[in-house]
């Protein structure tokens, strides 16, 4: 049974245009500088921006441990909505959810929505989990704080480009 009780969400109005945020989510060179809350880093990124296309990152912990993440895009509406999941690999192949990933085997789907507003953009991120256990594990990893810090890093990056 699917329920929104298994969702984590984050929302904020930010003083930048949707196109700036879109570029940061869809171009590897613009995603890598902000995607992980520091001191973590994104050291690799591959994006094939189409339904069924690859979304792959490698995160580097402060201790030097590498954490690969692989998923696929489900929906792409430029400057408005981006949906991807780690439950499927590119080409919609079911994922084995390797245990060495930071999310340690729990499946999720990310929905990023960008809505133009007078002050800039209403930025919404929602992460859907298959069950309560996965949602709780993700929350315990610091979902809201981490996504907030990453957004702050994105906004700081946008001011530099």
What are the residue ranges spanned by the domains of the chain?
4-160
Say how far apart CA 149 and CA 115 lie, in whole Å.
Answer: 20
pLDDT of residue 113: 98
The candidate with the shortest Cα–Cα distance to 125, out of 98, 154, 93, 91, is: 154
Neighbours of 144 (CB within 10 A): 12
Q: Are 150 and 34 in contact (CB under 8 A)?
A: yes
100 or 155, greater pLDDT: 155
Average pLDDT score over the chain? 92
Whether pLDDT at 126 is above 90? yes
- Residue 93, judged by CB atoms within 10 A of its CB (0-12, 13-18, 19+), counts as exposed
Instruction: Return the CATH architecture of domain 4-160.
Output: 2-Layer Sandwich (3.30)
pLDDT of residue 1: 43
**pTM, full prediction:** 0.91
Say how far apart CA 74 and CA 90 lie, in whole Å.
Answer: 10
Tokens encoding 93:
């192949």
The candidate with the shortest Cα–Cα distance to 115, out of 35, 22, 24, is: 22
Tokens encoding 81:
């909505």
- Give strand pairing partners of 124: 11, 113
């Amino acid at each position: 049974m699917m329920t929104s009780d298994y969702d984590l969400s984050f929302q904020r109005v930010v003083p930048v245009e949707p196109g700036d945020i879109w570029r940061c989510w869809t171009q590897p060179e613009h995603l890598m500088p902000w995607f992980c809350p520091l001191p973590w880093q994104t050291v690799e990124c591959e994006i094939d921006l189409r339904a069924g296309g690859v979304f792959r990152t490698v995160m580097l912990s402060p201790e030097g441990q590498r954490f690969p993440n692989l998923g696929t895009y489900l929906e792409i509406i430029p400057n408005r909505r981006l949906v991807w999941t780690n439950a499927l690999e590119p080409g919609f192949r079911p994922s084995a959810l390797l245990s060495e990933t930071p999310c340690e085997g729990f499946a999720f789907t990310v929905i990023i929505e960008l809505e133009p507003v007078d002050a800039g953009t209403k930025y919404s991120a929602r992460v859907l989990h298959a069950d309560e256990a996965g949602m709780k594990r993700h929350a315990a990893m610091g979902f809201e704080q981490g996504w907030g810090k990453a957004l702050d890093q994105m906004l700081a990056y946008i001011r530099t480009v």
